[in-house]
Amino acid sequence: MSDLSPADVAKRAAALRAAEFVEDGMRVGLGTGSTAAFLVRRLGERVRDEGLRLRCVPTSEATARLADEVGIEVVALDEVGWLDLTIDGADEADGELSLIKGGGGALLREKIVACASDRVVIIADGAKDVAALGAFPLPVEVIPFGWQATKRLIEEMLVGLDVGGREVVLRERGGAPFVTDEGNRILDLRLQRIGDARGLALRLNQIPGVVENGLFIDIADTLVLGFEDGRVEVRDLSGAQGTVPFRDADNVFSDLAD
């Protein structure tokens, strides 16, 4: 019936539910990653089938290409000035809607776009819901110049902090350093557990050479979690939450033949 893995079924379920928050005429920030890609494709369907008028700011070149392919109008953030809504994925989310993001390497643009939005909706599969942040390596974007010195400063800063590990690794792709859309590098901090995410975020951004870190604190307003059976759970900062099934289980797979 489908080539989607159980994890992708969950991601797609969350993306389809979050797409319902988008209304005609909105200025929308589009996230980066596999979950966000399901959202972009769904919004492309709505543009085509419903005549939905959107002006969208992508958080990466990959998202911009996909949005253009599916017929979504892509604009620069400076062109629209401010956004009504941003929908993006996350690598981890805790009960306070604090996040780790940046697994796709777009954390700088993602944070700028999210902070320039009236509302931020995070979409993820249920496995990203955690009691405490830190099992997923924390990405830190650094400039290329003197990155090894920056790495050493980060390692020294981590000594004495309430974290479970202190390994700092340069992210690579294909045997070469990973390069962000802004031409920077990514250091992945393998911390295992973060005791004080807010304090760590502030201290990281005080280190020379650090551009931004992947801790998103007090940014997300709503979390939409998808599950392998098609259920979707929506949580927001007010503490309200609810779990709803798809009206039609076939909806999870309805566009696979396109």
Give pLDDT, residue 3: 86
* 116-137 tens-digit pLDDT: 999 999 999 999 999 999 999 9
* 72-105 tens-digit pLDDT: 999 999 999 999 999 999 999 999 999 999 999 9
Question: Is residue 194 situated within a structural domain?
Answer: yes
* 1-35 tens-digit pLDDT: 368 899 999 999 999 999 999 999 999 999 999 99
Give pLDDT, residue 245: 55
Same domain for 64 and 183?
Answer: no
Res. 256 pLDDT band, cuts 50 70 90: very low
Residue 38 has pLDDT above 70, yes or no: yes
Res. 171 pLDDT band, cuts 50 70 90: very high
Structural domain boundaries, residue 124 = 6-130+218-253
Residue 173 has pLDDT above 60, yes or no: yes
Q: Which of 212, 228, 243 is the last residue of a domain?
A: 212
Give pLDDT, residue 252: 38
pLDDT average, residue stretch 246-256 = 40
For 193-221, b/e burial (b = at least 16 CB within 10 A) is ebeebeebbebbeebebbbbbbbbbebbb
Same domain for 162 and 116?
Answer: no
Question: Is residue 1 situated within a structural domain?
Answer: no
Binding site, by residue number, is: 32-35, 88-91, 101-104, 128
Question: Is residue 37 situated within a structural domain?
Answer: yes
Q: How many domains does the chain have?
A: 2
Name which residue leads in pLDDT, 256 or 244: 244
Same domain for 183 and 237?
Answer: no
Same domain for 87 and 37?
Answer: yes
pLDDT average, residue stretch 148-175 = 97
Residue 253 has pLDDT above 50, yes or no: no
Same domain for 147 and 72?
Answer: no
Same domain for 76 and 192?
Answer: no
- Catalytic annotation present for 110: yes
- Kindly report the CATH number assigned to the domain that includes residue 199: 3.30.70.260
- C-alpha separations of 141 from 28, 33, 210 in Å: 24, 17, 6
Given 110, 141, 212, 233, the catalytic residue: 110
Give pLDDT, residue 248: 42
Same domain for 82 and 172?
Answer: no
Give pLDDT, residue 2: 64
* 180-194 tens-digit pLDDT: 999 999 999 999 999
Same domain for 113 and 16?
Answer: yes
* 82-91 tens-digit pLDDT: 999 999 999 9
Name which residue leads in pLDDT, 250 or 142: 142
Residue 255 has pLDDT above 50, yes or no: no
Give pLDDT, residue 109: 98
- Kindly report the CATH number assigned to the domain that includes residue 18: 3.40.50.1360
Question: Is residue 38 situated within a structural domain?
Answer: yes
Same domain for 111 and 163?
Answer: no
Binding site for substrate, by residue number, is: 32-35, 88-91, 101-104, 128
* 207-246 tens-digit pLDDT: 999 999 999 999 999 999 999 999 999 999 865 566 655 4
Contacts of 93 (CB under 8 A, 6+ apart): 99, 122, 124, 128, 129, 130, 220, 223
Same domain for 32 and 108?
Answer: yes
**How far is residue 7's CA from residue 10's CA, in Å, rounded to a whole number?**
5
Same domain for 168 and 44?
Answer: no
